[in-house]
A and B are shown apart, each in its own frame.
Chain A
Amino acid sequence: MKLNKNFITHNNGDEQIIVSVDQNFNGFIRNNRATAEIVELLKSETDKESIVNILFSEYDAPKEIIENDVERILKQLKSIGAIDD
């Protein structure tokens, strides 16, 4: 999976945001640190397992919690068309 080319990220100094140049999604997403990191990883072809492993090596949290968070965030990104499978 990979971030759809119509979605771009931008760091506005306060936070990372995602906006779409596609008319089907007119809003924007404010990303916290973990989400921003997932989105950065999605700029290259990757999969859920790889993302979980990278975050698990960086965050002091149980793997199960990280898996649930990654799944939730990927689901949200997919729901707005931000991820190409």
Chain B
Amino acid sequence: MTETYLLAEHIVKLDTLHRFVHKQCEKYRYNGCDKADITIKISQSDIDCEREKSEREDTLKGNNVRRFADYYLESLAVYRKFSESIIDDGYFLFHGCVVAVDGIGYLFTAKSGTGKTTHTNLWLKYFGSRAEIINGDKPIIKISKNISAFGTPWCGKENLNSNKSVPLKAVCILHRDAFNHIEYISKKQAYPLLLQQCYRPKDPAKMSASLSLLDRFCENVNIFSLGCNTDLSAAVTAFDSMSN
């Protein structure tokens, strides 16, 4: 099955074995006439590679090995190929949630399970129609004169994404705390987690390129550490510092 989409400013032609990824990408469909920038063709061996990777990661972490359907693994394979093919253009995949207020993006990142979604839901509740989630889990970050974040169909289990991009004002490393507090932190302090949250390509040259993009990212956005609870005031604490 073949369809064309516009993802993070790239016209992407997807040639897949299953329908699922096309359903996922529906609102990103490209109806123009221009030639695709990227063509992604998935074979069964790509799907099998994703299965092996997932099982190896579960084993390494000491978790029960999860079994995923081919259609789901195919979607991961598409996103992996897409992410790797745009690195040289200055785009990279980052694990985090981008929420926008009045069209300006704020990126929250943390280890899985910390509460990124819980916190960004507070922003939606507090700011109402002024706020929206651009990508709930895996935004694409573009490094150029300015830093911007893109919605994509790959956005975590809550499926929160918008087919748009926003300039990124700040990034925040989130952790739970009894009371709300936010501090500016240096690149050196933030680097271990930011590196961990950055997608790691298997190709060494692309990995080097990603690291260079991460450096430019760190140098061009303010980085904060937020300790927060689940009160609505946590959103106010974060926004007041991150928006200045």
Given the contacts A19-B195, A28-B192, A28-B195, A12 and B204 also touching, CB distance less than 8 Å:
no
B204 touches A6 (CB 8 A): yes
Mask of A1-19 contacts with B, CB within 8 angstroms, 1/0: 0000110101011110101
Determine how close the nearest CB of chain B comes to the CB of A80; give it in whole angstroms.
13
What residues of chain B lie closer than 8 Å to A13, measured between beta carbons? Answer: 187, 215, 219
Give the residues in chain B near A61, CB-CB below 8 Å: none
Min distance, Cβ B213 to any Cβ of chain A, angstroms:
11
Say yes or no for A23: interface residue by CB 8 A criterion: yes
B57 CB within 8 Å of chain A: yes
Q: Decide if B211 touches A10 in the complex (CB within 8 Å).
A: yes
* B204 in complex: contacting residue of A8, A17, A23, CB < 8 Å: A8
B188-212 vs A, Cβ < 8 Å mask (1 yes, 0 no): 1001100110001111100110011
A12-B211, A23-B57 known; A5 and B191 CB under 8 Å? Answer: no
The answer to whether the Cβ of B53 comes within 8 Å of any Cβ in the partner chain is yes
Pick the contact of A21: B57, B191, B202, B215 (CB < 8 A): B202
Return chain B residues, CB-CB under 8 Å to A24: 60
> Interface extent on A, as a size class?
10 to 19
Q: Is the CB of A19 within 8 A of B187?
A: no
Task: Tally inter-chain residue pairs, CB-CB below 8 A.
Answer: 44
Q: Is the interface of A mostly helix, strand, loop or mixed?
A: loop
Residue-wise interface mask of B (165-198) relative to A, using a CB-CB cutoff of 8 A (1 in contact, 0 not): 0000000000000000000000110011001100
Q: Are B204 and A21 in contact (CB under 8 A)?
A: yes
Q: Tell me if B23 is interfacial: C-beta within 8 Å of chain A.
A: no
**By the criterion CB–CB under 8 Å, are B215 and A12 in contact?**
yes
Q: Does B111 sit within 8 A of A, measured CB to CB? A: no
Q: Is the pair B207, A21 in contact by a Cβ cutoff of 8 Å?
A: yes
Which A1-54 residues sit within 8 Å CB-CB of chain B? 5-6, 8, 10, 12-15, 17, 19, 21, 23-24, 26, 28
CB neighbors of A among B12-59 (8 A): 53, 56-57
Q: Could you tell me the distance between the alpha carbons of A75 and B168 in the complex, rounded to whole angstroms?
A: 42
In the complex, chain A residues whose CB is within 8 Å of the CB of B195: 17, 19, 28
Please, how many angstroms separate the alpha-carbon atoms of A19 and B215 in the complex? 14
Once the chains are docked, how many angstroms separate the CA of A32 from the CA of B216? 22
Fill in one digit per residue for A57-77: 1 if any B CB lies within 8 Å of its CB, else 0: 000000000000000000000
Q: Which residues of A contact B207 (CB under 8 A)?
A: 8, 19, 21
**Which A positions have Cβ atoms within 8 angstroms of B?**
5-6, 8, 10, 12-15, 17, 19, 21, 23-24, 26, 28
Q: List 19 A-B residue pairs with CB atoms under 8 Å apart, sorted by A's residue number.
A: A5-B204, A6-B204, A8-B207, A8-B208, A8-B211, A10-B212, A12-B191, A13-B219, A14-B187, A17-B195, A19-B200, A19-B207, A19-B211, A21-B200, A21-B207, A23-B56, A23-B60, A24-B60, A26-B196
Report which B residues bind A (CB closer than 8 A).
Answer: 53, 56-57, 60, 187-188, 191-192, 195-196, 200-204, 207-208, 211-212, 214-215, 218-219
